[in-house]
Amino acid sequence: MNQIDLKDRHAVITGGAQGIGLAIAQRLQASGAAVSLWDHDQATLASALEHLQRTGTATGEVVDVSNPASVEAATQTTLAKHPRIDILVANAGISGPNLKLWDYPVEDWQHVIQINLLGVFFCCRAIVPHMIRQNYGRIVNIASIAGKEGNPDASAYSASKAGVIALTKSLGKETAGQDIAVNCVTPAAARTRLFDQMTPEFIQYMLSKIPRGRFVEVDEISAMVAWLVSKENSFTTGAVFDLSGGRATY
């Protein structure tokens, strides 16, 4: 494992108690960072913290990223425990049902957008002012290859991740005058609990589109994120980094 220098840095990872978020938390902690996990699942969060606190500094908050008041409260509570927030990894998300657009329930569509897109907005909106005051920050938003290509039977998810890409580009330009880098990654599918929300047919469709012939591993995602949130990433901002196994066409 390449060693990234994150000594004395503090990272907030949303959806950090499992899957991609937990893998990122472990990688950042191994590179020297203190980590704060924000997750809506209290039991899963407690289990993740028990593991991480054996190997470094880790705190957690039960947060509903789709609720701006919950995000603001978590920001203040986190800052009471840590002197600053250097890193934000906005990872929390859901897949939603696999349905044709014209059959998609409005409530389900809104729920996907509320968590996947508005959740990223709420977290960035709460934390970026603190990064501006300290003139330092690194943000990585977890988007998806679906946001670039659009998966059939996943219009809400694809639209939400396309929104995350555009949000990243806008915020990257808005903070370019400070030492703040805002980037996103667009992974192909990884075997996480999101698969529980998908049909077997849709999972097979995603696999068939990856030239590598396999799903991305969560540790492969965390390796790229670790560099993006480091001080060494001092120039690139508003950019999209693919982890698609060759699927991405632009």
pLDDT tens-digit profile of 8-49?
Answer: 999 999 999 999 999 999 999 999 999 999 999 999 999 999
pLDDT of residue 200: 81
**Neighbour tally for 120: CB within 10 Å:** 29
User: Is 157 tagged catalytic?
Assistant: yes
In a domain, 3, yes or no: no
More confident residue, 249 or 31: 31
Provide mean pLDDT across the span 39-67: 97
- Residue 62 in this model has a pLDDT that exceeds 80: yes
> Choosing from 104, 136, 157, 205, which is the catalytic residue?
157
pLDDT over 90 (residue 134): yes
Looking at residue 10, its pLDDT comes to 98
Residue span of the structural domain in which 137 resides: 10-243
The answer, yes or no, to whether residue 147 has pLDDT greater than 70, is yes
C-alpha span between 169 and 149 (Å, rounded): 17
Element (H, E) at 241: strand 240-243
Whether 152 maps to a domain, the answer reads: yes
In a domain, 2, yes or no: no
DSSP 52-71: HTTTS-EEEEE--TT-HHHH
Q: What are phi and psi of 73, to 5 degrees?
A: -65, -40
CATH number of the domain residue 96 falls in: 3.40.50.720
Sort residue 69 into left (φ over 0), alpha (ψ -120 to 50) or beta. alpha
Give pTM, 2 decimals.
0.93
Instruction: Establish if 125 belongs to a structural domain.
Output: yes
Look at residue 250 and tell me if it is in a domain: no
Task: Output the pLDDT for position 244.
Answer: 78
Q: What is the pLDDT of residue 15?
A: 97
Distances, alpha carbon 167 to alpha carbons 122, 186, 220, 249, in Å: 11, 14, 24, 21
The answer on pLDDT for 205 being more than 90 is no
Which of the four pLDDT bands, split at 50, 70 and 90, describes residue 195?
A: low
| Per-residue confidence (pLDDT) for residue 231, from 0 to 100 | 97
How many domains, in total, are found in the chain?
A: 1
